[in-house]
C-alpha cells in the first residue's frame, strides 16, 4: 500500500473508531428538545400571541407567589437566618408544608429566572425539612411534611420531592452559577443524588407524636437497586412499591449526564425502565393509571381505594411521559398513551370529574383545574388534533385560588410553562 493510501486508511479508522459499538450522539440524545433546542409552544400553535402567553404566565406566577395572602398566594416569607431570606410554599387545604410543593416552587422559580424566590425556598427546605441527624432513618433527605413554623409532622421521605430538588438545583447551577454553602447548587445536587442511589441502610428511632411514643424504623436509598425504580417510600414500614407519578425519565436522562459519573449507567437504565413502566401500569383503553403500583405494574392493594384508582397523585403521570417525549422523543408508545388518555377524557364531556376507576367509572365529580392542566400537557406527545381542545381549555381556565390553590395551582403554573415552551432544560 502506498504511504499516502495508508495514511488515509488510518485516518479513516481513527475517525470511525468512537462510533463502533456505541450510539451516535444524536441517537443517545433522542430527537426531542434536548437534541434540537426546539420546544413546542402549544399555545402559539393554537393561535395565541407570544405577548399574551408571556402575560398569562407572569400573571399566574404573580398571583400564586405574590398575590393576596388570604385567597391567592401559596408562597409566604418566613424571616431570615445566616443563609439569608427564607420562604415556604404551603398546602392551604391541609395547612402544612410539603417537600413536593417546595421542590415544585424551586423548579418554577428557576424556569422563570426568579433567583430570590428559589434561594428562599431552598433555605427553608434545608433549615426545617433536611434531616442532618446521622442516626435517623431519613438522614441526608428531606422529611415530606412539616407545619408552617417548621416543626416536622412526618419523619419520612416522599422521593418525588428529592427528584425535583435535584433537577432544580442542577438547573440553577447552570443558569446562575454556584455560590457558597447551601447555594453551591451543583455540589448540593450531586450529594443528594448520590444519596438517593447509595445511602446506607439506617435503623433508628423516630417519634410518633399522636401516640406519644417512639418506634424503630429502617430505611435506605430512594431507588430500588434491582428494579431501578423510585420507591413510594424507602421506609421498612411498607413492603416496597412505587408511585407511577414519581417516575421522571426526562430527569433521569439529565442525571446520567450531569450527576456522579459512577451512576450514569444506572440513570440511563432507570429512564428506560420508567418508559416501560408507563405502558405496564396504565389501563390499555383509558390510559388511566393508579396512584400506586407494584414494580411489575400490578395494583397495590391497601386499605381504601386511593391506591388502585386514578386520583390526585395519578394526575401527574401523563405530564411525566409527555415531557419525556418532548425532551427526548425516545419512546413512541408515549404518543399512544396521550392519545388514549385524551380520547377518554373527550368521551367524558367538558365537565369531567377528577377521580376514576382505571376502567373509567367516575367517582368524584369536581372538575379539577390541576387535571385540566395535565391533560393539556399530554398534548406535547399526542398525535390527534383533539389535543388542541385540551390546550384551549387550559388557556381559558383561570389561575386557581381559594382552598384548592396549592396543588391545583402548582400543576397549573407548571402546565403553562410546558405548553408555552418555557419549561426548558438549563
364 catalytically annotated: no
How many CB atoms neighbour CB 258 within 10 A? 20
Q: Residue 325 corresponds to which cell in the numbers above?
A: 417525549
Question: pTM to 2 decimals?
Answer: 0.92
Q: Are 169 and 420 in contact (CB under 8 A)?
A: no
**pLDDT below 70 — which residues of the chain?**
1-27, 210, 236-237, 303
Sketch out the chain's domains with CATH numbers: 32-49+241-421 (1.50.10.10), 74-223 (1.50.10.10)
73 and 65 Cβ atoms separated by less than 8 Å: yes
Active-site position among 313, 324, 331, 408: 313
Distance CA(331)–CA(369), nearest Å, equals: 28
Say how many C-beta atoms besides its own lie within 10 A of residue 210's C-beta: 6
**CB neighbours of residue 68 within 10 Å:** 9
DSSP class of residue 127?
A: I
The pLDDT assigned to 210 comes to 66
Strand, coil or helix: 368: coil
Alpha carbon of 296 to those of 194, 227, 279: distances in Å?
25, 9, 11
Catalytic residue among 29, 91, 100, 243: 100
pLDDT at 10: 36
Cβ atoms < 10 Å from Cβ of 110: 25
How confident is the model at residue 302, as a pLDDT? 75
Q: How many Cβ atoms are within 10 Å of 163's Cβ, its own excluded?
A: 25
CA atoms of 227 and 281, how far apart (whole Å): 15
The answer to whether the CB of 383 falls within 8 A of the CB of 333 is no
Active site residue 404: no
Radius of gyration of the chain from its Cα atoms, rounded to whole angstroms: 22
Taking the CA atoms of residue 32, residue 35, residue 36 and residue 37 in that order, the dihedral angle to the nearest 10 degrees is: 90
Query: What 8-state DSSP symbol labels residue 139?
Result: T
The Cα-based distances of 351 to 279, 366, 393 in angstroms read 27, 8, 11
Q: Give yes or no for a contact between 103 and 196, defined as CB atoms under 8 angstroms apart.
A: no
CB neighbours (10 Å) of residue 303?
Answer: 6
Reduced to 3 states (helix: H, G, I; strand: E, B; else coil), residue 18 is helix
Q: Please enumerate in sequence order all residues whose Cβ is within 8 A of that of 142, keeping only pairs 6 or more positions apart, or say none.
A: 99, 125, 129, 130, 131, 157, 161, 162, 165
Please answer whether residues 237 and 253 qualify as being in contact, where contact means their C-beta atoms are separated by less than 8 angstroms. no
For the chain, how many residues are written? Answer: 426
Amino acid at each position: 500500500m502506498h504511504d499516502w493510501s495508508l495514511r488515509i486508511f488510518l485516518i479513516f479508522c481513527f475517525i470511525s473508531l468512537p462510533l463502533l459499538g456505541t450510539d451516535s450522539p444524536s441517537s443517545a440524545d433522542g430527537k426531542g428538545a434536548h437534541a434540537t433546542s426546539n420546544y413546542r409552544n402549544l399555545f402559539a400553535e393554537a393561535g395565541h400571541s407570544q405577548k399574551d402567553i408571556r402575560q398569562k404566565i407572569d400573571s399566574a406566577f404573580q398571583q400564586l407567589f405574590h398575590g393576596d395572602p388570604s385567597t391567592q398566594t401559596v408562597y409566604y416569607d418566613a424571616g431570615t437566618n445566616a443563609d439569608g431570606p427564607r420562604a415556604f410554599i404551603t398546602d392551604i387545604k391541609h395547612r402544612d408544608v410539603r417537600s413536593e410543593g417546595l421542590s415544585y416552587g424551586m423548579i418554577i422559580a428557576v424556569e422563570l429566572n426568579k433567583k430570590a424566590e428559589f434561594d428562599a425556598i431552598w433555605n427553608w427546605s434545608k433549615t426545617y425539612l433536611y434531616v442532618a441527624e446521622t442516626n435517623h432513618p431519613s438522614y441526608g433527605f428531606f422529611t415530606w411534611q412539616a407545619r408552617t413554623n417548621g416543626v416536622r409532622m412526618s419523619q419520612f421521605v416522599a422521593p418525588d420531592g428529592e427528584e425535583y430538588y435535584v433537577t432544580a438545583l442542577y438547573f440553577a447551577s447552570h443558569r446562575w452559577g454556584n455560590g457558597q454553602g447551601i447555594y453551591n447548587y451543583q455540589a448540593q445536587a450531586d450529594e443528594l443524588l448520590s444519596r438517593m442511589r447509595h445511602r446506607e441502610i439506617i435503623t433508628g428511632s423516630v417519634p410518633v407524636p399522636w401516640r406519644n411514643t417512639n418506634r424503630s424504623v429502617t430505611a435506605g436509598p430512594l431507588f430500588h437497586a434491582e428494579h431501578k425504580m423510585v420507591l413510594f417510600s424507602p421506609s421498612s414500614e411498607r413492603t416496597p412499591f412505587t408511585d407511577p407519578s414519581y417516575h421522571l425519565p426526562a430527569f433521569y436522562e439529565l442525571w446520567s449526564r450531569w450527576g456522579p459519573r459512577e451512576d450514569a449507567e444506572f440513570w440511563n437504565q432507570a429512564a428506560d425502565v420508567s418508559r416501560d413502566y408507563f405502558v405496564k401500569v396504565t389501563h390499555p383503553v383509558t390510559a388511566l393509571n393508579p396512584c400506586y403500583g407494584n414494580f411489575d405494574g400490578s395494583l397495590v392493594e391497601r386499605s381504601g381505594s386511593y391506591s388502585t384508582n386514578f386520583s390526585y397523585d395519578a394526575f401527574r403521570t401523563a405530564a411525566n411521559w409527555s415531557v419525556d417525549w418532548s425532551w427526548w422523543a425516545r419512546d413512541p408508545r408515549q404518543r399512544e398513551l396521550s392519545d388514549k388518555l385524551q380520547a377518554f377524557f373527550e368521551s367524558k364531556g367538558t365537565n369531567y370529574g377528577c377521580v376514576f376507576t382505571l376502567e373509567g367509572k367516575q367517582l368524584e365529580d369536581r372538575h379539577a383545574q390541576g387535571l385540566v392542566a395535565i391533560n393539556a400537557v399530554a398534548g406535547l406527545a399526542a398525535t390527534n388534533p383533539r389535543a388542541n381542545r385540551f390546550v384551549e381549555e387550559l388557556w381559558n381556565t383561570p389561575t386557581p385560588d381559594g382552598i384548592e390553590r396549592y396543588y391545583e395551582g402548582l400543576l397549573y403554573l407548571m402546565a403553562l410553562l410546558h405548553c408555552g415552551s418555557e419549561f426548558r432544560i438549563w
